[in-house]
Amino acid sequence: MAEETTSTPTQEPPIYKHLNPKTAALLRQTNKARAEQEKAAIMSNEQTFIAIKPDGVQRGLIGEIIGPNSSCSYKLVALKLVTPSKEHLEKHYEDLSQKPFYKGLVTSLLGATNPLDSAPGTIRGDFAIDVGRNVCHGSDAVESAKKEIALWFKEGEVLEYKQVQHDWIYEK
Protein backbone atom coordinates (compact mmCIF):
# COMPACT_ATOMS: atom_id res chain seq x y z
CA MET A 1 0.00 0.00 0.00
CA ALA A 2 1.45 3.39 -1.02
CA GLU A 3 1.44 6.27 1.35
CA GLU A 4 -0.20 9.44 0.20
CA THR A 5 1.83 12.53 0.77
CA THR A 6 0.23 15.89 1.00
CA SER A 7 2.10 19.02 0.29
CA THR A 8 0.87 22.51 0.75
CA PRO A 9 0.84 24.20 -2.63
CA THR A 10 2.41 27.62 -2.85
CA GLN A 11 -0.26 30.28 -2.86
CA GLU A 12 -0.24 31.96 -6.27
CA PRO A 13 -1.27 35.55 -6.78
CA PRO A 14 -4.95 35.82 -7.81
CA ILE A 15 -3.97 37.39 -11.14
CA TYR A 16 -2.64 34.01 -12.32
CA LYS A 17 -6.15 32.69 -12.91
CA HIS A 18 -6.69 35.48 -15.47
CA LEU A 19 -3.54 34.72 -17.46
CA ASN A 20 -3.22 32.31 -20.34
CA PRO A 21 -1.50 29.04 -19.33
CA LYS A 22 1.78 29.82 -21.11
CA THR A 23 2.14 33.21 -19.42
CA ALA A 24 1.27 31.77 -16.02
CA ALA A 25 3.81 28.96 -16.50
CA LEU A 26 6.49 31.46 -17.50
CA LEU A 27 5.78 33.58 -14.42
CA ARG A 28 5.92 30.49 -12.17
CA GLN A 29 9.27 29.50 -13.70
CA THR A 30 10.65 33.04 -13.34
CA ASN A 31 9.49 33.32 -9.73
CA LYS A 32 10.96 29.90 -8.90
CA ALA A 33 14.33 30.86 -10.41
CA ARG A 34 14.31 34.19 -8.55
CA ALA A 35 13.46 32.44 -5.26
CA GLU A 36 16.30 29.95 -5.78
CA GLN A 37 18.77 32.79 -6.48
CA GLU A 38 17.63 34.67 -3.38
CA LYS A 39 17.90 31.51 -1.27
CA ALA A 40 21.40 30.85 -2.60
CA ALA A 41 22.40 34.43 -1.82
CA ILE A 42 21.04 34.14 1.72
CA MET A 43 22.73 30.80 2.29
CA SER A 44 26.08 32.17 1.17
CA ASN A 45 28.36 33.70 3.77
CA GLU A 46 30.97 34.53 1.19
CA GLN A 47 32.21 38.06 0.88
CA THR A 48 33.78 39.87 -2.01
CA PHE A 49 35.83 43.03 -2.28
CA ILE A 50 34.83 45.76 -4.69
CA ALA A 51 36.83 48.94 -5.10
CA ILE A 52 35.49 51.90 -6.99
CA LYS A 53 38.51 53.15 -8.91
CA PRO A 54 39.49 56.84 -9.19
CA ASP A 55 37.66 57.27 -12.51
CA GLY A 56 34.42 56.11 -10.88
CA VAL A 57 34.96 58.45 -7.93
CA GLN A 58 35.84 61.43 -10.13
CA ARG A 59 32.77 60.84 -12.30
CA GLY A 60 30.57 60.88 -9.17
CA LEU A 61 29.44 57.25 -9.50
CA ILE A 62 29.86 56.07 -5.90
CA GLY A 63 26.19 56.60 -5.02
CA GLU A 64 25.03 55.05 -8.28
CA ILE A 65 27.13 51.94 -7.70
CA ILE A 66 26.38 51.33 -4.02
CA GLY A 67 23.02 53.06 -3.74
CA PRO A 68 19.62 51.48 -3.23
CA ASN A 69 18.77 51.76 -6.91
CA SER A 70 21.88 49.92 -8.07
CA SER A 71 21.32 46.81 -10.13
CA CYS A 72 23.35 44.78 -7.66
CA SER A 73 21.85 42.88 -4.77
CA TYR A 74 24.43 42.68 -2.05
CA LYS A 75 24.78 43.59 1.60
CA LEU A 76 27.29 46.35 2.26
CA VAL A 77 29.35 45.55 5.37
CA ALA A 78 32.21 48.05 5.12
CA LEU A 79 32.98 51.23 3.24
CA LYS A 80 36.10 53.34 3.16
CA LEU A 81 37.24 56.31 1.09
CA VAL A 82 41.02 56.28 0.78
CA THR A 83 43.87 57.44 -1.41
CA PRO A 84 46.19 54.44 -1.21
CA SER A 85 49.95 54.70 -1.44
CA LYS A 86 51.86 53.22 -4.36
CA GLU A 87 53.14 50.48 -2.01
CA HIS A 88 49.60 49.61 -0.90
CA LEU A 89 48.45 49.30 -4.51
CA GLU A 90 51.47 47.18 -5.42
CA LYS A 91 50.64 44.83 -2.54
CA HIS A 92 47.00 44.71 -3.65
CA TYR A 93 47.88 43.79 -7.22
CA GLU A 94 50.93 41.57 -6.49
CA ASP A 95 49.08 38.36 -7.39
CA LEU A 96 48.09 39.83 -10.75
CA SER A 97 51.62 40.68 -11.77
CA GLN A 98 52.11 37.18 -13.23
CA LYS A 99 48.79 37.04 -15.07
CA PRO A 100 48.10 38.61 -18.47
CA PHE A 101 44.64 39.41 -17.13
CA TYR A 102 42.52 37.71 -14.59
CA LYS A 103 39.43 35.77 -15.54
CA GLY A 104 36.64 34.59 -13.30
CA LEU A 105 35.92 38.10 -12.08
CA VAL A 106 32.54 38.50 -10.52
CA THR A 107 31.12 39.27 -13.95
CA SER A 108 27.47 39.01 -12.96
CA LEU A 109 27.98 41.96 -10.64
CA LEU A 110 30.79 43.95 -12.22
CA GLY A 111 30.61 43.03 -15.90
CA ALA A 112 33.50 42.12 -18.16
CA THR A 113 36.81 43.97 -17.85
CA ASN A 114 36.12 45.53 -21.24
CA PRO A 115 32.98 47.67 -20.81
CA LEU A 116 31.97 46.97 -24.43
CA ASP A 117 31.65 43.27 -23.50
CA SER A 118 29.68 43.99 -20.31
CA ALA A 119 25.99 43.26 -20.07
CA PRO A 120 23.54 46.05 -19.25
CA GLY A 121 22.72 45.99 -15.56
CA THR A 122 26.31 45.32 -14.48
CA ILE A 123 28.40 48.11 -12.95
CA ARG A 124 30.75 48.28 -15.93
CA GLY A 125 27.96 47.79 -18.47
CA ASP A 126 26.11 50.77 -17.03
CA PHE A 127 28.96 53.12 -16.11
CA ALA A 128 32.34 52.22 -17.62
CA ILE A 129 33.65 53.74 -20.82
CA ASP A 130 37.05 52.19 -21.54
CA VAL A 131 39.15 49.19 -20.43
CA GLY A 132 41.59 51.49 -18.64
CA ARG A 133 38.70 53.35 -17.03
CA ASN A 134 36.45 50.46 -16.07
CA VAL A 135 35.21 52.06 -12.84
CA CYS A 136 35.77 49.23 -10.35
CA HIS A 137 37.87 46.30 -9.23
CA GLY A 138 36.38 43.07 -7.92
CA SER A 139 37.86 39.99 -6.30
CA ASP A 140 38.27 37.07 -8.71
CA ALA A 141 37.76 34.34 -6.09
CA VAL A 142 36.75 33.80 -2.46
CA GLU A 143 40.38 33.47 -1.34
CA SER A 144 41.32 36.68 -3.18
CA ALA A 145 38.43 38.46 -1.52
CA LYS A 146 39.58 37.38 1.94
CA LYS A 147 43.09 38.63 1.21
CA GLU A 148 41.88 41.93 -0.27
CA ILE A 149 39.42 42.59 2.57
CA ALA A 150 42.22 42.00 5.09
CA LEU A 151 44.50 44.35 3.14
CA TRP A 152 42.00 47.21 2.95
CA PHE A 153 40.10 46.87 6.24
CA LYS A 154 41.40 46.54 9.78
CA GLU A 155 39.86 44.07 12.22
CA GLY A 156 36.55 45.43 13.45
CA GLU A 157 35.91 47.56 10.36
CA VAL A 158 33.87 44.86 8.57
CA LEU A 159 30.47 44.49 10.20
CA GLU A 160 28.34 41.40 10.56
CA TYR A 161 24.61 41.99 10.79
CA LYS A 162 21.26 40.74 9.60
CA GLN A 163 19.29 43.18 7.50
CA VAL A 164 16.00 44.25 9.08
CA GLN A 165 13.91 43.27 6.06
CA HIS A 166 15.38 39.74 5.95
CA ASP A 167 12.65 38.15 8.08
CA TRP A 168 9.97 40.00 6.14
CA ILE A 169 11.23 38.56 2.86
CA TYR A 170 12.44 35.08 3.81
CA GLU A 171 10.79 32.50 6.06
CA LYS A 172 14.01 30.70 7.01
Active site residues: 137
The number of angstroms, rounded, from the C-alpha of 159 to the middle of its chain's C-alpha atoms is 17
Whether 92 contacts 82, CB under 8 Å: no
By C-alpha distance, which of 22, 25, 23 is closest to 33?
25
Whether 65 contacts 127, CB under 8 Å: yes
Whether 149 contacts 141, CB under 8 Å: no
